[in-house]
Structure 1
Amino acid sequence: MDAPLLFPRIVPISFFLLLLHVSQSNCLDISQCIAPLGMESGDIKDEDITASSSFDSGNVGPRQGRLKVETNGGAWCPQTPATAEPEEWLQIDLHTVHLVTSVGTQGRFGNGQGVEYSEAYILEYWRPRLNKWIRYRNYRGEEILNGNINTYLESKTELDPPIWATKIRFLPYSYHKRTVCLRVEIYGCRWTDGIVSYSMPQGDKRGPNWEFYDSSYDGFWDDGRLKHGLGQLTDGKTGSNDFKVSFYEHSKGWVGWRNDTRNGKPIDVVFEFDEVREFTNVNIFCNNQFTKEVQVFAKAEVFFSIGGKRSRGQPITYEYMEDRIFEKSRNVSIKLHHRIGKYVKIQLHFAARWILLSEISFDSEVIKGNFTEEEDEQEISASTNVKSQGASSSSGSGSESPPNKSSPSPQEFGQYMGVIAGILSVLTLLVGTLVGYIILQQRRRKAAGRQETYVPSNCEKAALYSEPIVLGQNSTNTQYMDSSTRRSEYAVPRLKTRPDPPSLQDIFPKPPSFPPAQEHYYASTEICNARFTPPSPPLSTPPLIRLSRQPRYVSNSNHYVGP
């Protein structure tokens, strides 16, 4: 009676524990990416700090633009005053892609003599994949960032969203023309995920006012598709369980697509990496408000490529079990089984009307080696046409030649390699088993050879063996036996055995063969009155050896002598 009651309780608890396990996110922890990158400490070299101009390059040049450093003039001061159309800039080269989460600025203190500072400024950044300078805007679409109110206090501004940059420029801004000086610091961390860019269709609208766009994407928007940039899916921030809260807070935590605008086709998101990598997992943070027509994708397919033109091998397919119990947002982790590629394409199939994504991250490592790019389908078709034309021309000339076999495709090659690897594994296992069996048999033989027969210490080995004696003959005749009748070729061990125990007949006298007289059973008066003399005990039975003797005869006569 209790089992039906326990079952509905156990299932939600186990499902909730599984949900907690799935919901753990492995994406970038942006809260730990807040370290200064080296303007104040000097980790950024002087030659990596440049400027459009300087009022006095030796006194207030770009090298003096370090936060909290008082050297020479005490700050970088441009040659022309700042205006609402900034042209002067201070540039810092980081050499590699960094995730910048905040920046800080100061004016020129100059040991109390400086009075110049910048009330506002604009940021621009550059990285190789963009190949152009991008002006930074926050989630509210603002370009102008608040600067300083005096010459000595640092004004630190958090960048939301953060930026991925190799070079950063600070452009002093002023609503009216004025002389400014600037000292700066950059906060963030090195970008180690290796993602150079991702491309995907832009999000859709939900109603007249809701736009599930990737608003922080810094690449190009070409014909409804985003290309060559980075944005919300890689910024390390995840949306809330209720997508409306994220929308009203202007955090833009979700990017969404609607099923009926795609004609049933899946969503393609293509990631480009800096180098060829080996992938173990991909983590996709999804919304699951099924009561509002939002669910986790039904199926995901992951493709890999070296050159970005064609996929390499079969895709990894992952089917998600539908959850219509909990509406909590979750991180779905898909194992990638150490697949190799520089480009990764993820296809997401709809399970409901909407798919909302907030973050996609990969667990990968750079792998070294020589990798060849996959051929394009057009190139393959052109090569096959050339081969077919060559074959037809050779057949037309009258010489028959066997048909040219095209080289196996990467998928077939991968299948062949898998079969070969499986056969080699089985052969290795068989050889190992055979070697182990042989070693075990040798050990058993060695252990059996060590067992020796116990030999008493008080006798020699030779004393254990003697010639066989023919049974049924006495010892006197045995010593006169002919040597030819002896079987000396067989060695019989001469073992000392105990004699057989004597029979009870040898110890106790035999009973008489006839019952005694009656007077022997009853005592008479004479015997009772007279002195009783016990009769002598009867003679014991002669030994068996005497009873077994044969009668003897005197030689040359048949006269019986007796035993």
Structure 2
Amino acid sequence: MSRRRQPGVLLLLTGAVAAAALRHQGPPASCHVALGMEEGRIPDSAVSASSSYEPKSVGPQNARIRQEKNGGAWCPKAQISSEVQEFLEVDLGRAHLITATETQGRFGNGQGQEYAESFHLLYWRDALQRWVIYRDSSGRKLMSGNRNTYLAVRQQLELPFVASRVRFMPYSQHTRTVCMRVELYGCPWTQGIFSYVTPKGDRWSDGQQLEDLSYDGVRDGRFVAAGLGQLVDGRIAPANPEDDGAGRGLAWRPDWRWVGWHNATHQGQPVDVDLELDGPRELTAIQIHALHKPEHGIQVFCEVSVQLSLDGRHFQPALRRPTPAPAEATVNVSVPLQQRVARFVRLQLHFADAWLLVSELALDSMPVPRNVSQLYLEQMFYQQDSALEEINTLDSEIPTEKPAQKRKEIAPATNATGSQQAYVGLVAGGLASLMLLALAGAAVVVVRRGRQKVALLAGKPCGGFTAAPVRRPRR
């Protein structure tokens, strides 16, 4: 916690490197692991149901995929229809990113005849305090189940979600008896993001809505709040969506996995993304995966500003970083945060063109130990303000003397000669300090003027892209 802060440097990764940089926190191989229904890592006490036909034989504890315990599955007491709702619930104990499910009917050593042809999937997260029904990218909430009693069917989730409890709710249009065995796939949720707030996505020229499809919070007016969605599900959107396979030369359009905002909607103002964390965390970096296709009026944000807060009200001075235009169509912008402590993170993404498209945010962080007092946290936080101001002004850190390393007091002089020497030394020290302050001020002025000249030579400063007229995406 007492590491020396280093000057901020913005890293720009592209293509496969960008995907790899985010992959360690997303759903690729490391997040498609069975969570333990089959192997028993999820205990019987964590599996419950709305009812059971016979608790000992076909109770929820028997709903373990590829296992033949007792009656061989969970079977609800009532027959299932479109009007009857029964559920099997799995409590994971803490938040996980869920990427797939697997279901199986009751084989019962060859005696079973029951399975669920389809089901609904519901999930709970403490931040939500309510059950949410899963929907895919097309808005469908009914998931395909089984066609026999023995083959397991895995359902890869198009839109992964964060949950601590998951319910399987069998469904049937016609009244029938069903039984289920299940498994969940995913990984523990380690990013520590409690919720985020963003503006709603805007509409592409052909009517496609570039919004956060899996967002499970509140959709109020132009904003979404108090939830999580596809911006943190670990899935990285492609730069070039697949064509329709018929070679009809359809106009290019972004993939639905991108969340996009139009400059005209925001009148040239930056897009704000506010992250609330699950507690105070030590932040290493934040990574933002963005699209860059200037030929379609889409460019990576020309500048990113990061502000940190402990209470959501007092924010530190913004840490600003320009973003150079990348050579490839997708880019992962990584902003180092030098192990600063915060519970709230505010991002401002500044437009460089008509459109700004983002598919993923990833926060590299670790929780602050619980034995750290609130007073110590606040002291650390406010000490970070001056460091941020120094980095923004000179893009370097001026070494400062730590309180614990103060110079030893000089013994006072005991004669006239010593007093005169001390007086001369004091005057000389004061003059030297004034000269250093003057030089530092001159350096700041030179740096700022130099940056202004560079911006003018580049054509326009970041954030100066006008909202009207706006170049619409080409077909």
| Structure 1 and Structure 2 fold alike (TM over 0.5) | yes
* 8 Å CA contact retained: 1:34, 1:189: yes
**What letter matches 1:347 in structure 2?**
Q
CA distance in 2, matches of 1:248, 1:150: 42
Distance 2:253 2:122 in 1: 26
Aligned to 2:374, the other structure's residue is in SS state coil
For residues 50-129 of structure 1, what are the structure 2 equivalents within 5 Å? 50-129=48-127
Give the deviation of 1:430 after TM superposition.
8.4
Report the alpha carbon displacement of residue 285 of structure 1 after superposing the two structures with TM: 0.7
* Structure-1 separation of matches of 2:243 and 2:287: 23
Contact 2:241 2:255 in 1 (8 A): no
Letter in 1 for 2:348: Q
Cα separation, 1, equivalents of 2:361 and 2:376:
25
User: Which amino acid counterpart does residue 359 of structure 1 have in structure 2?
Assistant: E
Pair 280,66 (structure 1): closer, same or farther in 2 beyond 3 Å: same
Question: 1:251-330 maps to which residues of 2 (within 5 A)?
Answer: 252-311=256-315, 313-323=316-326, 326-330=327-331
- SS of structure 2 residue aligned to 1:58: helix
| In structure 1, distance between residues paired with 2:293 and 2:388 | 44
Q: Quote the Cα distance in structure 2 between the aligned partners of 1:254 and 1:63.
A: 40
| 1:248-300 deviation per Cα after TM superposition (whole angstroms, max 9, x unaligned) | 89962211111111122111101111121111211111111011111111111
- Among 209, 212, 222, the residue aligned to 2:210: 212
**1:427 Cα offset (Å):** 9.9
In structure 2, relative to structure 1, the CA distance for the partners of 1:346 and 1:277 (3 Å cut) is same
Secondary structure at the residue paired with 1:63? helix
Determine helix, strand or coil for the equivalent of 2:57.
helix
Whether contact under 8 Å (1:242, 1:289) holds in the other structure is no
Equivalent-residue separation in structure 1 for 2:254 and 2:149 (angstroms): 33
Question: Match for 1:306: what amino acid?
Answer: L
Letter in 1 for 2:344: Y
Q: What is the distance in 2 between the residues matched to 1:20 and 1:92?
A: 38
Paired residues of 1:22 and 1:332 also in contact (CA < 8 A)? no
TM-score by length of 1: 0.63
CA separation of 1:269 and 1:82: change in aligned 2, threshold 3 A? same
Greater fraction of residues in strand: 2
Shift of 1:342: 0.9
Q: CA RMSD in A?
A: 3.2
1:281 is paired with a residue whose SS is strand
- The alignment status of 1:424 with 2:401, answered yes or no, reads yes
How far apart in 1 are the matches of 2:359 and 2:213? 12
Change (3 A) 1:81 1:41: same
Per the TM alignment, residue 245 of structure 1 is displaced from its structure 2 partner at its CA by: 6.0
Give TM-score scaled by structure 2 length: 0.74
Aligned to 1:26: 21
In the aligned structure 1, how far is the partner of 2:384 from the partner of 2:190? Answer: 32
Q: Which residue of 2 aligns with 1:346?
A: 347
Distance 2:375 2:299 in 1: 39
CA distance in 2, matches of 1:43, 1:248: 47
Partner Cα separation in structure 1 for residue 254 and residue 355 of structure 2: 20
**Is the aligned partner of 1:178 residue 2:176?**
yes
**SS where residue 291 of structure 1 aligns?**
helix
Residues 314, 411 of structure 1: 8 Å contact kept: no
Task: Identify if the C-alpha distance between structure 1 residues 186 and 244 changes in structure 2 by more than 3 Å, giving closer, same or farther.
Answer: closer
Runs of 5+ consecutive residues of structure 1 not aligned to the other structure = 1-16, 376-407, 432-563
Indicate conservation of the 8 Å contact 2:317/2:389, yes or no. no
Matches of 1:149 and 1:22 in 2, distance apart?
A: 42
CA distance 1:44–1:412, shift in 2 (3 Å) = closer
CA distance in 2, matches of 1:31, 1:285: 16
Given that residues 48 and 93 in structure 1 are in contact (C-alpha distance below 8 angstroms), is that contact kept between their aligned partners in structure 2? Answer: yes
Shift of 1:180: 0.7
Counterpart position of 1:364:
365
Q: Could you tell me which residue of structure 2 aligns to residue 415 of structure 1?
A: 386
Question: In structure 2, the residue corresponding to 1:26 is in which secondary structure?
Answer: helix
Residue identity opposite 1:162 in structure 2? P
Task: Assess if the C-alpha contact under 8 Å between 1:139 and 1:250 holds in 2.
Answer: no
Gaps of 5+ in 2: 1-11, 245-250, 391-397, 409-475
The one-letter code of the counterpart of 2:21 is N
Of residues 178, 185, 188, the one that matches 1:190 is: 188
- Aligned-partner residue type, residue 320 of structure 2: T
Q: Distance in 1 between matches of 2:254 and 2:389?
A: 50
* Matching of residue 44 in structure 1 with residue 39 in structure 2: no
- For residues 66 and 249 of structure 1, what CA distance do their matches in structure 2 show? 43
Q: Work out which structure has the larger RCO, using CA pairs closer than 8 Å and 6 or more positions apart in sequence.
A: 2
What is the number of equivalent residue pairs in this alignment?
A: 380
Distance 1:49 1:414, change over 3 A: same
Secondary structure at the counterpart of residue 211 of structure 1: coil
- The question of 1:231 aligning with 2:240 is answered no
Distance in 1, matches of 2:353 and 2:34, equals 44
**What's the offset of the Cα at 1:178?**
0.4
- Preserved contact between residue 22 and residue 333 of structure 1 (Cα < 8 Å): no
